[in-house]
Amino acid sequence: MKTGKKSYGTITIAVLSLALIAGTAFIMSPCNDLPTIPDTRQSNVRDNYLNYCAGCHGENLEKFNKSEWMYGDNDDAAFKSIKYGREDIGMPAFELTFTDEQIRDMATYTRTAVSKDQLKQGAAITLEKVVKSKKQNFVIDTVVTGLKVPWGMEFLPNGDMLIAEREGILYRFSKGKLTEIKGLPDIMAKGQGGLLDLRLHPDYGENGWLYFSFSQPSESNPREGCTAIMRARLSDNSLVDKEMIFDGVPDSNRGHHWGCKLQFDKQGYLWFGIGDRGNRDVNPQTVKNDCGKIHRIHDNGSIPEDNPFVNTRGAKPSIYSYGHRNPQGTTMHPETGEIWESEHGPKGGDELNLIEAGKNYGWPVISYGINYNGTKFTDITEKEGMEQPVIQWTPSIAPCGMTFVDSDRYPGWKNNILIGSLRFKYLERVELDGRKVTDQEKLLEGIGRVRNVEMGPEGFIYVAMEQPGFIVKLLPLN
């Protein structure tokens, strides 16, 4: 939990950022869709508090739990503080945001709503310093804290965020609060496995399907498992109508290389990758099992007729490409509709690939990596009939979730790929011209092990870090 414990020493920077954002919003609106100060007239005092105040004063009004009020223990003083701000001390003015009546309500709220038992800290929104990068400046806004390993992030139409914790918990994050969603199947939280990615059906509004990938224990031996995908509907905070969409084979007692990010494409196909499950010398180069592959299926789990191996005897028909080690990011180019994938190499040789039908991506026959202990498992990095990565990272960055920036909010990054680095704790930005990489940049250096990055509602970028687990939103300053 970051905000509550934060001293007000850093508040000046926060206020500056706030002023900048507010300033940007006022100058730019309404002629484009940059952040604007929303109409607050309809929302209640608690919602306004969470939106505008909780970042500095704590979700549960922690900072108002005090015996002495700086500017007087009465509603008038609080009203003045909120309306005109207390510039010297870092309290911004809200006279442009709220009506006098709202400010009065809020003054009363800050003075009465706090109670000792509310000291339990929840997630809050923090405005931090302005980050300058090559083509886009932004502010980091901490949205969720108190997580462990947030693997999957998905956004419901009402703005609630769903978060998959790898250990096997599904959360709904709404109005600053995490609530557990019940009804997940048995999940094998082992090694790199657990509850993995989340994705809404492209027609979620009509059919309500939520897809999730997870490490599924085998019925005969719960110590073994493989990656599986289910879909279900949400009924309040429970999963109902569960359907198994994909059940990977073979099961294995290994704890690593499960994949598995989910991505729908423009035609409605569901794409995902499964890792080699630690069986390097068998799985990736055969099309007879599901491991070490990128798969493409219909939304109900059935097989597209034109998948490349549907007519290959003994092959798993969901396979789209093979020769992969541990596919993590799986994402679609917003314009071309191509599927791009990032995968973990061993020691070195992490890859960014453009996925093409039926192709062999070479693992472990060709690789830029070596064994973790420094020995070699291959002498070659290229071979006829095997694909070259678009990028290979040596040393390994441990690429994780990735996304294309498909919104107009970050003009400097339009259609760039963002890729999380677990190992070096940053977000990598990759600029592409077709298959050619034209620029690479490290963002958010040192922020933490970046587990995932997604485009969220209204075109904002959300980045999830692990251990400690928290989620930030990047607010562009244009």
* Number of Cβ atoms within 10 Å of the Cβ of 425: 18
Asked if 119 interacts with ligand HEC (CB under 6 A), we say no
Contact 421, 429 (CB under 8 A): no
Contact 261, 251 (CB under 8 A): no
- C-alpha angle 28-32-35 in degrees, rounded to nearest 5: 65
What's the min distance (Å) between Cβ of 1 and ligand HEC?
Answer: 17
CB nearer to ligand HEC: give 86 or 298.
86
Please state, in angstroms and rounded to a whole number, the distance separating the CA atoms of residues 127 and 143. Answer: 10
Q: How far is CA 325 from the centre of its chain?
A: 22
Q: Is 257 a catalytic residue?
A: yes
What's the min distance (Å) between Cβ of 128 and ligand HEC?
Answer: 11
Look at residues 123, 157, 285, 151 and name the one whose alpha carbon lies nearest to residue 212: 151
Please state, in angstroms and rounded to a whole number, the distance separating the CA atoms of residues 262 and 264. Answer: 7
Give me the residues paired with residue 29 across strands: none
The two tokens of residue 424 are 């070096």
CB nearer to ligand HEC: give 61 or 144.
61
Please state, in angstroms and rounded to a whole number, the distance separating the CA atoms of residues 263 and 269. Answer: 8
CB nearer to ligand HEC: give 78 or 260.
78
**The binder of ligand HEC chosen from 3, 24, 110, 307 (CB under 6 A):** 110
Give me the residues paired with residue 436 across strands: 433
Binding-site string for ligand HEC from residue 6 to residue 45, where x marks contact by CB under 6 A and - marks none? --x--x--xx--x---------------------------
C-alpha distance from residue 362 to each of 300, 354, 359 (Å): 30, 13, 9
Size of residue set near ligand HEC by CB under 6 A: 26
What's the min distance (Å) between Cβ of 91 and ligand HEC?
Answer: 3
Of 56-95, binders to ligand HEC (CB under 6 A) are 56-57, 63, 69-71, 77-78, 81-82, 86, 89-92, 94
The two tokens of residue 217 are 């224990």
- Per DSSP, the residues of 119-132 read GS-----EEEEEEP
What's the min distance (Å) between Cβ of 405 and ligand HEC?
Answer: 28
What's the min distance (Å) between Cβ of 94 and ligand HEC?
Answer: 5
| Residue from 57, 201, 257, 295 carrying the catalytic annotation | 257
Across the beta sheet with 270-274, the strand order is 262-264, 270-274, 293-297, 319-322
**The binder of ligand HEC chosen from 6, 21, 50, 52 (CB under 6 A):** 52
What's the min distance (Å) between Cβ of 40 and ligand HEC?
Answer: 10
Contact 268, 202 (CB under 8 A): yes
Of 373-432, binders to ligand HEC (CB under 6 A) are none
Q: What share of the chain is helix, strand, coil (3-state, %, to 5)?
A: 15, 35, 50
Is the sign of the CA dihedral 441, 445, 450, 453 positive or negative?
negative
What's the min distance (Å) between Cβ of 85 and ligand HEC?
Answer: 8
Q: Please identify every residue annotated as catalytic.
A: 257
- The site for ligand HEC (CB under 6 A) is made up of 8, 11, 14-15, 18, 52-53, 55-57, 63, 69-71, 77-78, 81-82, 86, 89-92, 94, 106, 110
